[in-house]
Each structure stands twice: as C-alpha cells, then as structure tokens.
C-alpha cells in the first residue's frame, strides 16, 4: 500500500511540475500581442522536411519544439512506463496471492 501511494504521488508531482513549467508564465520569451499575420517562409520549396538549421528557434511555448511539445513528449514517454509498472506490480500481487 505504501509503495503504490509513494509511486502514485511521485508521478502526480512530476506531471504537475511538467505542466507548470510548460505554461507561458515560465517561458523565456515575453509574449507580445500582434495585430498582423506573420508569414513564415519555407526554406526553398525543395520538400516537406526542412533542412537542418533552416528554421528558427521557438518563440513561444506552443511553437514547434517549444516547451509544450517537449512536455507532451515527456508525458507520452511517462504514461506507458507507469502503465507497464502497474501491470507488473499487479501481476506480482496476483502471483503471490496464488502461491499463498
């Protein structure tokens, strides 16, 4: 009981921390309201995948490669790990109860 509570609390704290640091309040760039539409130029039209170094650094957390995308990647990695760990733990419990 104590181990599962500890594991669950660590997982919740980690997810809350990742969401809080991904919020715009913690971003490096200051958000400035713009009234015009920004046009992004494609490298040279040679393909769908841009060439390395041809893009620009993310200026907001929602941009490509920004904090929100990185936190989503972290969550996509974290959730299967939690699911596999809980299935293995439950299997051990069932196996121990069957042996007793």
Task: Per residue of the chain (100 residues), give pLDDT as tens.
Answer: 678 778 888 888 888 887 777 766 555 555 565 667 776 665 555 667 777 777 777 788 888 778 888 899 999 999 999 999 999 999 999 998 888 7
The residues, any chain, with a CB within 8 Å of residue 54's CB and separated by 6 or more, are 43
pLDDT score of 77: 95
Q: Full-prediction pTM beyond 0.75?
A: no
| Cα dihedral across residues 93, 94, 99, 100: positive or negative | positive
pLDDT score of 32: 62
Radius of gyration of the chain measured on its C-alpha atoms? 21
If we measure between CA atoms, which residue out of 1, 15, 22 comes closest to residue 82?
15
pLDDT score of 34: 61
């Amino acid at each position: 009981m104590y181990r599962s509570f500890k594991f669950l609390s660590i997982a919740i704290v980690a997810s809350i921390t990742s969401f809080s640091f991904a919020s715009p309040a913690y971003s490096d760039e200051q958000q400035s309201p713009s009234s015009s539409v920004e046009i992004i130029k494609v490298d040279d039209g040679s393909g769908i995948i841009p060439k390395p170094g041809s893009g620009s650094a993310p200026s907001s957390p929602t941009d490509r490669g920004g904090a929100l995308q990185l936190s989503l990647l972290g969550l996509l990695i974290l959730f299967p790990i939690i699911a596999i760990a809980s299935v293995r733990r439950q299997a051990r419990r069932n196996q121990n109860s069957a042996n007793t």
